[in-house]
Structure 1
């Protein structure tokens, strides 16, 4: 019996120490800035491309969701996908702006128009520890496509795990112009 108790205590100690290490590495990321991407190698001059169709899309992204009451929230990691569904034409991303719950712009991810290659997916990751967006964060995307091609798709998957409990869901972008 004594050996069983000793082994159990040793296992509990190891698990506790391991989880403390993970927590410390998680905490060090709290001071990091918003997710950044470098798409400068994909920049294009849209003035040289004739007859593009322009549009604007809205995407809800949740940095947090409420749990139990409006006073308790869970933090989420969000992966935002920008998808070109055309197999024979590029799409163009002109703007990708991230806003918080109150409509304040937090970050612009596109400095100049960029090409999204055929069937390519670009991603923006909003880290779980980044709570700036809040429960009502969103993106506004401006884009362009050639006539007779598909419009880009904007999606987000939000995920979080706490212990053995997991939470995940998706949101789909909506064209607003």
Structure 2
């Protein structure tokens, strides 16, 4: 049984980061490239393997450096089976020092499933603090609430 909430007019369709200005990346000799994996749960099992509960996911891309920008080059969303569903970043943009941007996966969006994930590709100048990627999943129904957090892991 899926949690079916009424559609509200204010429900977002999909986060759009296209309004971020295109960033000029640092020259290769000054650049450090990174990749981060982040698990995200569009739904979780409830009661049994045949029943799921939908969640809203807020994915935060955080620049932890107070002096230098971080360049976000790609943000690819994958479903449980590893199929790329959506590219949230189509052109590189800079996260200003201490800036955070969010991607929101709507509670009604079940496309990712129970094993959804992101891979973020980013770059920094040398001697810059690496960015933080985290997801907060939440759902409330009546007096019940469910929430938890996942943190990005560096990958090669």
Offset of 1:38 from its aligned partner?
2.9
Question: What pairs with 1:98-113 in structure 2 (closer than 5 Å)?
Answer: 98-113=77-92
Q: Distance in 2 between matches of 1:85 and 1:98?
A: 23
Which structure carries more helix by proportion? Answer: 1
Q: Structure 1 stretches of 5 or more lacking a match?
A: 1-22
Name the SS of the counterpart of 1:135 in structure 2.
helix
Shift in CA distance, 49/118, structure 1 to aligned 2, threshold 3 Å: farther
Rounded to whole Å, the distance in 1 between the matches of 2:131 and 2:69 is 10
Q: What does 1:8-157 correspond to in 2, within 5 Å?
A: 23-26=5-8, 33=13, 35-46=14-25, 51-157=30-136
Higher RCO (CA 8 Å, separation ≥ 6 residues): 2
TM-score by length of 2: 0.90
Q: Which residue does the alignment assign to 1:174?
A: 153
2:26–2:125 contact (8 Å) kept in structure 1: no
Larger proportion of strand? 2
Q: For structure 2, list consecutive stretches of 5 or more residues without a partner in the other structure.
A: none
Equivalenced residues, count:
152
Contact in 2 for aligned 1:39/1:114 (Cα 8 Å): no
Rg (Cα) greater in structure: 1
RMSD: 1.9
